[in-house]
Structure 1
Amino acid sequence: MTRKLFNLKIQGNIYAICIAGAALLNHKTIYSIFKTLEKNYQGTGTYDTVIRHFIDGLKAELRKQLNIEDLATATTIMNLEFIVSGYVDQDVSKPRIESWLVLSGTVQIEGGGQLTKGEFCKWTNIVNGQHTFGGCWIGRAEFISHLVTHTNPQMPPIQGQYELLSLTDAVDYTKFLVDFTCDYQRFAAMVPDCGKPIISATLTPEQYDEQIIK
């Protein structure tokens, strides 16, 4: 019940979920909360309403744990990150991926703004109403960010060509990034908190396939 990568099926649509951050909310694993939300969803079945259902459900559990109504007034800072992948109208040409943060308290963000509503969309592949290719990461993101956003002019960039990747290449790319995180921690002056084997998954409108990569 502590899985970090899993799938949900809501009104015939399959979603892939990846989570990071808090291990428990209101004495429940995040996986079990998502499975409950999968079961009690009532709506039109659109991606936006499903996302809204997930966010509201997680915020409700966070309020119960902190025994508070307004998350912005909480003195205890807790956060949960999750990525949701799905397809619009089950159309393989319309994948939709979003990364969300659900949190308590008031948090300062880059640019001088503040998060006060208990939720924040960190990334989406929908730009001006159009589906774009891209990638996002959560959790121990500093290692991947260090790799893909480097400024060494002697090194070629390692991102920005997602539209040219085959599905196999995309799987290998994600494995490479996770391998880098694990191996970097192995030799770094720190206590490693990421390890192998790596769990990987691919999602199509018809099915969710998960595999363990050693």
Structure 2
Amino acid sequence: MVAPLSAWPWENFGIYKYLLYGPLLAKVLYTRILEGSFKDDWCLHILIICVARSSLHQLWSTYVNMLFLTRNRRINQHGYDFKQIDKEWDWDNFILLQALIASMACYIGPPFIENAPLWNAKGFITILSLHVGISEPLYYWVHRCFHKSYLFNQYHSIHHSSPVLHPFTGATATFLEHLALTPVIGLPIIGSCMMGNGSRITIYGYLLVFDFLRCLGHCNVEVVPHQLFETLPSLRYLLYTPT
């Protein structure tokens, strides 16, 4: 029997799951056609962020598979088999989930992105402080909870079942895991905006840097020279790498 909330609600939709982006696209086109402008920035920015995040993962995947660049720096020299590829095929489910949650948030509360300026220096400090002080420890604690016997066997084991790390491995998880981690990831963004320090650059930047580092940690290619950690041992507490 499948554990509750382990399967994704759109698991049987196949490629048609992308139709769930339809209401966001329809809202953007509606305002463009009837009002003559992209007034509904919230929905438009959600779509742009989704495309940017998907492109970031695809670029990392392309880089990892460029053996002429990465062959000598691969940690695990084995290749990716079809079983792993099939298992990680729907790696982008979390992007769709977070887009749907963000779209619902714009009806529950004020549209943060629409009201946010392009740049706010205080917003950068605020979002960094919230990430280091609250989000990162909370993310680690939730992740550790999924390593306990029941949660690991029923939910988290799929994340550790891939024989060779890949950027898509970091994004592959059950519905419950991403449902629990999404508020943790969004907390710095919401917090900085509610304090009046949010900006569009920090919102885009935070999500893309978060994804970038997760892809880096699961790419199976050592990008950071080990000599750097030998020179600065404390750096390992600030930056994690595939090794």
The structure in which a higher percent of residues are strand is 1
Q: Normalization by structure 2: what TM-score?
A: 0.24
Kindly name which structure, 1 or 2, has the bigger radius of gyration based on alpha carbons: 2
The structure in which a higher percent of residues are helix is 2
Higher normalized contact order (CA 8 Å, seq sep 6+, divided by chain length): 2
